[in-house]
Structure 1
């Protein structure tokens, strides 16, 4: 099969198309013929050498895909050979075939293309796990999303709005702010506005209940100023750095929570539980047309380097998809 491998750590140019053996599915796994694969920030970090795959995972990048189950162990699952699915994987999505734990497969939502479906798993698994499970966003509460125009950001905005929450989101240009507004969020241009001042003004000084933070670094202390009493910050990436100086007095006095998680190394059983939650809570919203992934661009597998360059430049609104 053709696959994109990281020839050495570095810029987008280190990605190269190679021939690899088709992987073999084991117990509880299926082999999927990949028809579309999502590009995500962890792929870029892995290519740069700062986010290695978990032990036992494929060394190939690619954390989500859509395609056809062509062989493997479907016993006890809702799927059969020949079914079209989308799935979360720990690696290997940038290829013509990929092995997937069958419990991490989800059906293609009715009316969705394979390209759209390939942009669902990594973002919605992440959003559900961190905003609703770990962050505990409840109906009627308010959410602030950093990186609001990213794949995860646009998914978080749409899902929280569909669940009845007010959502604020930061982005680095007026065009991206307008895209956030079209999704039902309230966009804030962090380059021209002080986002904590905007949040305080728009919430009457109360602040928001949950913050989904992909930046960390010096944003964390600023986030604390944005939180309502009993508020929660959930960190899912470190684009602004891993270290922060925080006001612990604020945490004590107002009962604030700072937490975080990474999804990729979690066991199959954990991801299977998330898949069940998505099937029950999110897939009906997708099929009802209340949520739709934003596909910014598609590239053939051979142009994975261009896809990574686009992501690093921060040009996209929504998802970038590779087509094997």
Structure 2
């Protein structure tokens, strides 16, 4: 199965949709005929040529989430066969073909699910389960807050917290229209971190305690307010830094509230660590995924040939939910 394919490739002159060699699956990999891919914030860093500490550089094919039919499997792969409908995380998803490690290949749970909807699931589910449950040690009856809740990952995070029995789910968004929609995806309380009273709103919703687990996609200058909104012995999981990678940090506040401040990324994880992440997510959530308990709105679908326009749409930060590419 060699040959060429269309793909969105990072070049010295920016991202271009052009011919690229079709990938060949390794022994424990699956080759997928991609039907849809979805955009993730990390793709913008890769598209910029590997700045922001992201992996990448000239020749890199973008795309972390993709769904389609299995075209071929490596010789050590079991349980997946050509023709199967799958949704995967991996690399190079903005293309007609992409490979994924067998530990990151999931069966499409529902015949009625569109390819675009299927492609929204892997990264969001695994990232948020890992942040909330594995790193955040979330337990039923606790409260949870997602900082930056209107992204696809954020919307799934609130749904996971609700599904796992959160007493109170808080979501934040600085956009009024997006904030108004957070309740549809599990938020009991929706706050604007630009509002000077937002911490008091969170404390009010949690009986004065603050939230037990915070999944922070913003970081930057919101960190001290976030700590004030976190319960004593609560956990803050640093997933993203949309508000900036450096800021003043109140060490006294951190110590007084005895907060566990936990950093997570996929950049330094081994293949086995990522396989364990997906296995943990499947153990806790997959039965609910199969029942259709988690869903993400598709903001807009672009054809693969318009991958550059799709990235610009994400960079403009006006979307709600996921942006998809149809292949």
User: TM-score, normalized by length of structure 1?
Assistant: 0.92
Contact 2:11 2:57 in 1 (8 A): no
Q: Identify if the C-alpha distance between structure 1 residues 265 and 114 changes in structure 2 by more than 3 Å, giving closer, same or farther.
A: farther
Other-structure match for 1:17:
17
Contact 2:27 2:77 in 1 (8 A): no
Q: Deviations over 1:79-104 (max 9, x none)?
A: 11221111111x21111111111121
Other-structure match for 1:322:
325
Q: Identify if the C-alpha distance between structure 1 residues 57 and 63 changes in structure 2 by more than 3 Å, giving closer, same or farther.
A: farther
| Correspondence 1:299 to 2:292 | no
Other-structure match for 2:89:
88
Quote the Cα distance in structure 2 between the aligned partners of 1:65 and 1:37.
Answer: 4
Q: Deviations over 1:151-170 (max 9, x none)?
A: 11101011111111121011
Other-structure match for 1:3:
7
Higher relative contact order (CA 8 A, sep 6+): 1
Equivalences for residues 6-85 of structure 1 within 5 A: 6-8=10-12, 14-49=14-49, 50-51=51-52, 54=55, 59-73=60-74, 75-85=76-86
Other-structure match for 1:137:
138
Quote the Cα distance in structure 1 between the aligned partners of 2:72 and 2:284.
Answer: 29
Alignment RMSD (CA, Å) = 2.0
Quote the Cα distance in structure 1 between the aligned partners of 2:57 and 2:281.
Answer: 26
Q: Deviations over 1:182-203 (max 9, x none)?
A: 2220211334453212112222
Q: Deviations over 1:198-251 (max 9, x none)?
A: 112222321001111111111111111011010111111112222222222222
Please report how far the alpha carbon of residue 145 of structure 1 lies from its aligned counterpart in structure 2 after TM superposition: 0.6
Other-structure match for 1:119:
120
* Structure 1 gap segments, 5+ residues each: none
* Higher alpha-carbon deviation: 244-253 or 154-163: 244-253
Other-structure match for 2:103:
103
* Higher alpha-carbon deviation: 285-294 or 49-58: 49-58
Contact 1:64 1:119 in 2 (8 A): yes
Contact 2:23 2:97 in 1 (8 A): yes
Q: Deviations over 1:275-310 (max 9, x none)?
A: 222222212112223221221111101111221122
Please report how far the alpha carbon of residue 52 of structure 1 lies from its aligned counterpart in structure 2 after TM superposition: 5.5
Other-structure match for 2:184:
182
Quote the Cα distance in structure 2 between the aligned partners of 1:25 and 1:83.
Answer: 16
Q: Identify if the C-alpha distance between structure 1 residues 77 and 169 changes in structure 2 by more than 3 Å, giving closer, same or farther.
A: same
Q: Identify if the C-alpha distance between structure 1 residues 58 and 6 changes in structure 2 by more than 3 Å, giving closer, same or farther.
A: closer
Q: Identify if the C-alpha distance between structure 1 residues 288 and 19 changes in structure 2 by more than 3 Å, giving closer, same or farther.
A: same
Q: Deviations over 1:14-69 (max 9, x none)?
A: 32111011011111112111111010100012112424654999711101100111
User: TM-score, normalized by length of structure 2?
Assistant: 0.92
Contact 1:3 1:19 in 2 (8 A): yes
Q: Identify if the C-alpha distance between structure 1 residues 190 and 56 changes in structure 2 by more than 3 Å, giving closer, same or farther.
A: closer
Other-structure match for 1:243:
246
Equivalences for residues 157-172 of structure 1 within 5 A: 157-165=158-166, 166-172=168-174
Other-structure match for 2:269:
266
Contact 1:74 1:80 in 2 (8 A): no
Contact 1:77 1:103 in 2 (8 A): no
Contact 1:236 1:261 in 2 (8 A): yes
Quote the Cα distance in structure 2 between the aligned partners of 1:195 and 1:52.
Answer: 31
* Structure 2 gap segments, 5+ residues each: none
